[in-house]
Amino acid sequence: MDEKPIKRRGLLLVLSSPSGAGKTTLSRLLIESDPDISMSVSATTRAPRPGEEEGLHYFFVSPDQFERSRDQGDYLEHAEVFGHYYATPKAPVDAALAEGRDVLFDIDWQGTQQLSEARRGDVVRVFILPPSGAELERRLRMRAQDSEDVVRKRMSKAESEISHWAEYDYVVTNFNVDAALSQIRSILAAERLRRERQPGLSAFVKTLFPGSE
């Protein structure tokens, strides 16, 4: 018997954490292991880092371009992080939802609040906690991408960011990357099966006993 997928609406999976808690690694691994979810590409006013490509990692825009798009309502959310602006373009996200495709977001609590207000029923929010403050600092230093001053600023901001954990639907503590990834995949699988995300269920149920109508 041929298996035909039941039509569903896509969802917006948000992973948030302080820098160094592992959300970037977990996001990459989830994308690599699940062909049905893709990464949201944000617009940003910061300069590209080594290896980053336009349109793949970010849309790099000038402050003037950013302000024009924001004022025109082209962004679902936007936030200032360490002196630079980041935002989520609206059009590609709405197209993915309508086509039943899932979108992954690596954004902070400010962006998550705005995204939830804009697309409340579509958002699934997951906060990633580090196993300890000491481990968080160790991970930041191991990256060797930031100066000592930036590391101190990120550690200072981490406590404020973590204070928003209760605003999320799920909380995963990243003791181990493989275990944390497994938990996130379980969350995603369950959320995809929510009745309200499967508009094709009514039509499917009617096919089970076609002669009973």
pLDDT band at 212 (very low <50, low <70, confident <90, very high): low
pLDDT at res. 181 = 98
Predicted confidence (pLDDT) at residue 33 exceeds the cutoff of 90: yes
Span 180-209, pLDDT tens digits: 999 999 999 999 999 999 999 999 998 998
Residue with tokens 């993915």: 96
Predicted confidence (pLDDT) at residue 1 exceeds the cutoff of 60: no
CATH 3.40.50.300 assigned to 12-40+101-212 = yes
Helix, strand, coil percent values for the chain (each to nearest 5): 45, 20, 30
pLDDT at res. 146 = 62
Q: What is the mean pLDDT of the chain?
A: 90
Q: Name the token pair of 127.
A: 């906060």
Lowest mean pLDDT among 82-91, 115-124, 143-152: 143-152
- Domain residue ranges of the chain, discontinuous segments joined by +: 12-40+101-212
CA–CA distance, 61 with 189 (Å, rounded to integer) = 35
What is the rounded average pLDDT of the residues 37-44? 93
